[in-house]
Amino acid sequence: MALFGSGNREFVDDESGKIAYYPAVFRAAESKRLFEHFSLNLEWAHETMWMYDHTVEVPRLIARFSGEGEMPGEVRAVWKRVEEFLKAPFNSVSFQCYRDANDSVSWHSDHTEDLIENGIVAVVSLGAVREMRVRSKKRPRRTFSCALDPGSIFFMGGRAQDFWEHHIPKLRDAVEPRISIAFRQKR
Ligand SMILES: O=C(O)CCC(=O)C(=O)O
């Protein structure tokens, strides 16, 4: 991948996978327009998950598409840009909306059984800046964090999901909404 512009960061590039950050893949005005468009036009849904012995509401909104037929042109356009930038094909997309400082996603790795071998997960950020924390599964833990600017791509590839977990924490101070768009190479 020929991906070296200013501000690109490679956090991991070894047998435990590749984790990298590419800012300004989408220009500021374009990111703003896409954020506004997706905020208003996607069908945002609450999801629940089973936790210990009861269901809880997932603290963020999700929008998914089951088939390419129903996918708006803006989604296809972003998809194409991400594929061109990373020189990699994707076959799945999901949208997440972090409405405020109380929305978050807890420590997890993507299910490798859902991804192709060494499958890439690429996350486009729009709207407010939120922090992505990453830690190794193996102890002593290696940790790092990355501020996800609007228009950026956070890249996880190789065996990253086997060796690393990621997390968007809740914040103490108020923050504007953020939308993330996760592209995956699924089986
Ligand atoms: O919203 C993000 O930046 C991360 C999304 C994520 O980790 C997930 O949906 O599994």
Is there an atom of ligand 1 within 6 Å of 152 CB? Answer: no
Mean confidence (pLDDT) of the chain: 95
Assigned domain for 44 exists: yes
Q: Distance, CA 127 to ligand 1 centroid (Å)?
A: 14
In the chain, the number of structural domains is 1
Q: 1 in a domain, yes or no? A: no
pLDDT tier, 51 (very low <50, low <70, confident <90, very high otherwise): confident
pLDDT tens digit string along 90-127?
A: 999 999 999 999 999 999 999 999 999 999 999 999 99
pLDDT for the residue numbered 1? 43
Rounded mean pLDDT, 69-86:
94
Is 172 among the domain residues? yes
Domain-embedded: residue 3: no
Above 80 in pLDDT, residue 4? no
Ligand 1 atom closest to Cα of residue 154? 3
Higher pLDDT, residue 36 or 3:
36
- Is 83 among the domain residues? yes
pTM for the model stands at: 0.95
4 in any annotated domain: no
pLDDT above 70 for 184: yes
Ligand 1 in reach of 122 Cβ (< 6 A): no
Read off the pLDDT of each residue in 62-87 and give the average, rounded to a whole number.
91
Residue 2 is assigned to a structural domain of this protein: no
| pLDDT of the residue at 5 | 55
Which structural domain, as residue segments, surrounds residue 59? 9-184
* HEC profile of the chain: CCCCCCCCEEEEEECCEEEEEECCCCCHHHHHHHHHHHHHHCCCEEEEEEECCEEEEEEEEEEECCCHHHCCHHHHHHHHHHHHHHCCCCCEEEEEEECCCCCCEEEECCCCCCECCCCCEEEEEEECCEEEEEEECCCCCCEEEEEECCCCEEEEECCHHHHEEEEECCCCCCCCCEEEEEEECEC
Q: Is 96 in the pocket of ligand 1 (CB under 6 A)?
A: yes
Distance CA 144, CA 166 (A): 10
List the CATH number of the domain containing 169: 2.60.120.590
pLDDT digits (tens, 9 = 90+) for 15-48: 999 999 999 999 999 999 999 999 999 999 999 9
130 CB within 6 A, ligand 1: no
- Residue 117 belongs to a domain: yes
Position 52 scores a pLDDT of 87
Q: Is the pLDDT of residue 68 over 70?
A: no
